A = this chain, B = another copy of it.
Amino acid sequence: MNKKPKNLAAEKRKEALKRLKKLGVRLYGQMEKSTFPWIKMPSRSTQNIFYSPEVRQYVLGDKMVRRSSRNIRHIRPLTQLIWAAYFARDLAQQRKTSTLRDVYYSAQAYEVPFKDQPESNSIITDLETVMGLSREDFKVFPEERSAIFGDLTIEYTVPGYEGKRLNLMSHPDGMMIGPALTSAEFVKTSADMVIAIEKGGLFTRFIEETVHKKYNALLVLTAGQAPRATRHFIHRLNRELDLPVHIFTDGDPWGMHIAMVIISGSANAAHLRELTTPDATWNGVWATDIVDYDLPSDALTEVDIKRLHDLRKDQRYEGDLWRREIKKFLEIKKKAEQEAFSRYGLTYIVDEYLPAKLEMTD
């Protein structure tokens, strides 16, 4: 079926510019009234981060913080924040993209230096909080790239490519999910679902075995922990195209958490809503799969076991499936990779495992 896409990318850019301008106008207004400029924003301290069962992700509480140039301890972070806003507006106006690393170095040109990368990253997160937008909206991207493949036609909005369309099945190694794809509009798809895959080898296997056709699926390679741009892209596929999302990872606490971060996000991004896909499902490799399919496995390490105990206390892991699988991992003390299915032949995972696991979560 063809779905009518909703155009969000262009609106996002306008919205970012509008909010940045509003911030600037407010600061100038304060100075014109001879008050020391200040900014108010939700606190990002751990005491103000809560898990919300309704929204099914971490959210910020009501506690607000105020940064004022009147307070000598605030002058540095406030100045950095205002510079970051200036830099973000520059990017949006010039329609350029940038990285967290660029932000850190660019500041030096303006003599508003950061002492290290964590400090500049934190200021960018502050700016997200103040603006209620994610840094991708004001064009600050991460280094990492993942990929997508399948029958989705997109229309670019980046300079030089405006109005150009591309079908994401054009290149069978997959299309990188970078700034251009993230800001593209969805035009048309025949897909009925999204299948997200942790490993590059399996992503290629799925393409070769035409999983995209057999299941009318868009295949997303997370390449380990999915970069934020990719989590946002999966969110968009789910919301804008109403596609269910199924996630396949390695069968260990780390793979499990790759799925969880796509589903429920991280505490770090409690101030954002568009990086999560609460209705997405983790379809495998489960601890119970290791038993049921008699998979080649490795023993859990000390670190793996500690991690499982941590996850057990984590509010995001309260659902039945998660509790059962954590328990089973601790019981069998084993882990298995996605590639372990190769012991039954290279296509077993596609011919047998995949349909069985997709049915279970229907």
Contacts and interface: CB of A to CB of B under 8 A. Distances in A.
Contacts of A145: 147, 173-174, 200, 223
Contact of A339 (B99, B174, B181, B345): B99
Contacts of A173: 145, 175-181
Interface stretch (A24-32, A65-73, A101-109): A101-109
Interface in A99-145: 99, 101-102, 104-106, 108-109, 141, 143-145
Interface stretch (A155-163, A187-195, A279-287, A307-315): A155-163
A210 interface: yes
Interface stretch (A41-49, A164-172, A324-332): A164-172
Report the 8 A-B pairs with minimum CB-CB distance, sorted nearest first: A173-B178, A99-B201, A105-B342, A173-B176, A108-B343, A172-B180, A101-B339, A106-B342
A170 B171 CA distance: 10
Nearest to A90: B346
A98 B339 CA distance: 10
Nearest to A175: B171
Given A101-B201, A102-B342, A337-B101, A161 B172 contact: yes
A96 B171 contact: no
B143 A172 contact: no
A344 interface: yes
Given A109-B345, A141-B201, A346-B106, A171 B160 contact: no
A178 B176 CA distance: 12
A73 B287 CA distance: 38
A153 interface: no
Contacts of A161: 172
A199 interface: yes
